[in-house]
Structure 1
Amino acid sequence: MNAGTYDDDTLGGRMSLCRENRGMSVEEAAGHLGVLAESWEAWERDRDVPRANRLSMIAGLLGVTPSWLLSGQGAGPVEVKTTEPDDLLRAVKDASEEVAALNKRIDDIAARLAQRNKL
């Protein structure tokens, strides 16, 4: 995601966008920050505003700059890609095949070295 492409034009809207983008529940985000879920929800709904000392911590947790969180200007969130289980299984299978091919190559090189040392 690039800065400037968001419909959320409030602090709470940007917090919600980032939290969801990172795949966190309200409870998880609040727990990481050490606040009640009700406080986090109030911030996301623009019913309350976090104190300045919390703002930097929230930005860090959400992977954005404090200035983006406050104003929408600057570096915004990076989209987190979700991976389907079938994609993960395919990736494991592909990696296993690559490891097997590398092991065979290493064995072939070791055999050639052993043969060379016998000469």
Structure 2
Amino acid sequence: MSEETLLGERIAKARQAKGLSPRQLAQRLGIKKTTLLNWESERSAPRANRINQLAGVLDVPLLWLIAGAEVPAAIATPDLNETTAIEAKLRRAENLVNELSALLVDIRAQTRRVQREMDVEVEE
């Protein structure tokens, strides 16, 4: 897509490429469908935070969405090894969170048990 296209055209093109209807994209953004259609038809323009959100939801480079600029292939296409490593770290982090949650439940149960035993000793 050339740099001469307007922001609204790029939003519509990216939405269509993602296979989303205007209603679906509006729901994902938390806006009214008419607001999205106004952006696409250049009747109004999204604020900077919405442009950033659009880039994320539509999975397009922010620079392309803002200016229509081509993004170097090295930036546009993440390295498969890098994404695999990130996914592995994410799985490890999720496992650690689950382990910590289980430990917290166990510690809470032990604390309650010890507190009950101490309460009984005080009453005697």
TM-score (norm 1): 0.56
Aligned counterpart for 2:50 among listed residues 51, 54, 60: 54
Aligned counterpart for 2:8 among listed residues 12, 18, 27: 12
Deviations 1:15-58 (A, max 9, x none): 00000011100000000000000000000001100011111000
Equivalent residue number for residue 65 of structure 1: 61
Equivalent residue number for residue 33 of structure 2: 37
Distance 1:29 1:48, change over 3 A: same
Any gaps of 5 or more consecutive residues in structure 1?
79-119
Give yes or no for contact 2:15–2:58 (8 Å, CA) kept in 1: yes
Give the structure, 1 or 2, with the largest relative contact order (CA under 8 Å, sep 6 or more): 1
Q: How many residues align?
A: 73
Any gaps of 5 or more consecutive residues in structure 2?
77-124
Query: 1:18 is aligned with what amino acid?
Result: A
Higher helix share: 2
Query: 1:65 is aligned with what amino acid?
Result: P
Query: 1:58 is aligned with what amino acid?
Result: L
**Equivalent-residue separation in structure 2 for 1:16 and 1:8 (angstroms):** 15
Instruction: Look up the SS of the partner of 1:48 in the other structure.
Output: coil
Seq. identity, %:
33
**Equivalent-residue separation in structure 1 for 2:40 and 2:2 (angstroms):** 15
Distance 1:15 1:8, change over 3 A: farther
Alignment root-mean-square deviation, CA: 2.1
TM-score (norm 2): 0.54
- Displacement after TM superposition at 1:74 (Å): 3.2
